[in-house]
Amino acid sequence: ERPSVIPALHHIPPGIQCAQDYEALADRFIPAPAHAYIAGGSGQEATLRANLAAFDGIGIAPRLLRDVTAGHTRVKLLGRELRHPVLLAPVAFQTLAHPGGEIETARAADATDSCLVASTLSSFPLEDIARATRGDKWFQLYFQPRRESTLDLVRRAEAAGFGALVVTVDASVQSPSLRARRAGFRMPDDVRPANLQHHVQPGQVTLSGGQSLIFQGLMSEAPTWDDLAWIMGQTALPVLVKGVLHADDAHALQAMGVAGLVVSNHGGRTLDGIPASLKALPRIREAVGAGYPLLLDSGIRGGSDIFKALALGADAVMIGRLQVYALAVAGALGVAHLVKLLREELELCMALAGCPTPADITPAFIER
């Protein structure tokens, strides 16, 4: 018998002593099918495992006797100074983890000066999320079946005060993972994409004889290079692209005027078998050169992972699953505590490695 699900706490349980502890505790706070949906990766989960293995597989090369007393974690991104390089990744349907969902997350972002990235598929309207944090916030855009609907989302994000668009391009075909399906996961009726009027589920696609569900069905609405150029022409907001793993794509995106990239494999939730994003990072940094905004996500579970990502070329990182786990355990308090832990873990790592500031964290601090 599985113990019953615990409602979110109003305090931090003593079992939480590092960021990753939220992962171990989360399955007590999230119903089993929803937990499988959040935790799982696509296919046989090779990419999901590769993300974690990539961080474990590289070592830090510390330097001794350096003065770090002027240390800090500030980074510059898109012309803004962020207090720390930990962003909250876009995560859909956060009411699966906590009834307050994205609003709790936004309050945590506000309390910890974290840049929040709100998902197109949020369970609260983007305007409500925007109101819950005074800090930096970006809107993650999924292209919609009709250009008018896509543009409508962009106009709403602009009006609500989001400072950048993050266009996710690696997840045009989405379905719950095998793990989620085996666990009997179905999206509960009361968990809806609050920003969208019409949300097409895979089962609702109509096809005529001989057509493929994937190519002519689901992918017929997927954005192309032309669509990306079109949306960039419609908005004055900086546009970042999320889901980049190939150096040639990175180079082409930079050349067309994209403001920055998120090196990501969607936390191992899209195409199984693609590389760990940390592995792809050095080549992408090389392709875009120094000074071009690069973020990384997928597999970050602690401060030393953030250090490794920064060392290999990222300006900042985004946190996906840990954010949801902390939300489930203790709502806004949990997410704020998670960010605090990640920051402290990063600072400790920087101090012991001899890097007073993020700019000091270079490939020289990775073991060869």
User: Is residue 101 involved in binding ligand FNR (CB under 6 A)?
Assistant: no
CB of 252 to ligand FNR, least distance (A): 20
Contact region with ligand FNR (CB under 6 A), list: 13-21, 83-91, 327-335, 348-356: 83-91
Closest CA to 241 of 110, 127, 90, 106: 90
User: Is residue 278 involved in binding ligand FNR (CB under 6 A)?
Assistant: no
Distance CA 273, CA 259 (A): 28
Among 223, 238, 267, 302, binds ligand FNR (CB under 6 A): 267
User: Is residue 92 involved in binding ligand FNR (CB under 6 A)?
Assistant: yes
Which helix (H) or strand (E) covers residue 86, if one does? strand 86-88
Closest CA to 334 of 52, 109, 113, 37: 109
Among 20, 47, 95, 140, binds ligand FNR (CB under 6 A): 140
Among 105, 112, 298, 304, binds ligand FNR (CB under 6 A): 298
Distance CA 238, CA 144 (A): 19
CB atoms closer than 10 angstroms to residue 314? 29
Q: Is 185 left (phi over 0), alpha (psi -120 to 50) or beta?
A: beta
Among 21, 297, 315, 345, binds ligand FNR (CB under 6 A): 297
DSSP assignment of 149-201 equals: HHHHHHHHHHHHT---EEEE-S-SS----HHHHHTT----TT---TT-S----
CB of 71 to ligand FNR, least distance (A): 25
User: Is residue 90 involved in binding ligand FNR (CB under 6 A)?
Assistant: yes
CB of 209 to ligand FNR, least distance (A): 33
Q: Residue 3 is which amino acid?
A: P
Which helix (H) or strand (E) covers residue 233, if one does? helix 225-234
Cβ closest to ligand FNR, residue 263 vs residue 360: 263
User: Is residue 176 involved in binding ligand FNR (CB under 6 A)?
Assistant: no
Q: What are phi and psi of 138, to 5 degrees?
A: -120, 155
User: Is residue 358 involved in binding ligand FNR (CB under 6 A)?
Assistant: no
User: Is residue 98 involved in binding ligand FNR (CB under 6 A)?
Assistant: no
- Burial (0-12, 13-18, 19+ Cβ within 10 Å), 218: middle
User: Is residue 320 involved in binding ligand FNR (CB under 6 A)?
Assistant: yes
> Of residues 227-266, which lie at the interface with ligand FNR (CB under 6 A)?
242, 264, 266
User: Is residue 280 involved in binding ligand FNR (CB under 6 A)?
Assistant: no
User: Is residue 283 involved in binding ligand FNR (CB under 6 A)?
Assistant: no
CB of 204 to ligand FNR, least distance (A): 19
> Residue 295 contacts by C-beta under 8 Å, 6 or more apart in sequence?
87, 240, 260, 261, 262, 263, 264, 314, 315, 316, 317, 318
Distance CA 142, CA 174 (A): 12
User: Is residue 319 involved in binding ligand FNR (CB under 6 A)?
Assistant: yes
Cβ closest to ligand FNR, residue 119 vs residue 150: 119
CB of 196 to ligand FNR, least distance (A): 12
Annotation says 266 is catalytic: yes
Closest CA to 299 of 115, 23, 18: 23
CB of 211 to ligand FNR, least distance (A): 27
Can you read off the two tokens belonging to residue 206?
């109509």
Among 8, 38, 75, 106, binds ligand FNR (CB under 6 A): 38
Determine the residue with CB nearest ligand FNR: 320
Among 20, 95, 119, 123, binds ligand FNR (CB under 6 A): 119
DSSP assignment of 30-85 equals: S-HHHHHHHH--STTSHHHHHHHHHHHTS-B----S---TT----EEETTEEESSS
CB atoms closer than 10 angstroms to residue 51? 26
Contact region with ligand FNR (CB under 6 A), list: 59-67, 154-162, 318-326, 355-363: 318-326
Catalytic residues: 266
Residues of the shown chain interacting with ligand FNR in the complex, contacts defined by CB under 6 A: 38, 51, 89-92, 119, 121, 140, 168, 242, 264, 266-267, 269, 297-300, 319-321, 324
